[in-house]
Amino acid sequence: RDAFSEPIIDPDGPFHLSAEVGHALEPVIAKHLSTELGFPVYRDTMLYRHPHYPFLLVDLDFVMTAANPRTGELRLVIIECKTAAYWKKEDWETGVPYGYELQCRQAMCVMNIDEAIIICLFDNNEGGVATYRIVRDCVIEAEIIQRAKEFWRGHVEKNILPTPTIPTK
């Protein structure tokens, strides 16, 4: 036993296979996107806080430096990587699921970045990938900020547990 290093996981601790697989595949998904678009992708391990709304936090999967199609100037683009079972692909056929879209929009708000790309892998081949571009929308951002502010002031600051709800679009 002394010849082995520490175990990679505590067998008595929490473990969720689908979450672990999703995190493990993020670099592969990002590399696929980088080769498809021809721009470098960088892992971002920082936790960011909005400069005016300290309750708005975001951690990013990756960022990409890409040329603005109109000006050619390089700018940062947020990259969000997802995985899902192949039967969930139809949920993405009409666009990004609403919760993931809001995740990207909050990241754009906090980071002051105008574009995010979300890519989801459903299968282990190129046919099992959905990629969407999300452009910043200040009206939606204002709504995100307002709802986050209400939640923070109404629940966190008052130490009141919220009533669980089912999100709707």
Using DSSP, state whether 131 is helix, strand or coil: strand
What pLDDT does residue 47 have? Answer: 96
With a threshold of 0.95, does the pTM exceed it? Answer: no
**Residue 118, strand partner residues:** 80, 132
Half-sphere exposure of 89 (CA within 13 A, CB side): 11
What pLDDT does residue 21 have? Answer: 87
Q: Which residue stretches of the chain have pLDDT < 50?
A: none
What pLDDT does residue 82 have? Answer: 95
**Residue 79, strand partner residues:** 62, 117
**Residue 129, strand partner residues:** 121
What pLDDT does residue 161 have? Answer: 92
Q: For residue 75, count other CB atoms closer than 10 A to its CB.
A: 13
In the DSSP assignment, the letter for residue 154 is I
Please give the order of strands across the beta sheet that includes 129-135: 41-43, 62-67, 74-83, 115-121, 129-135
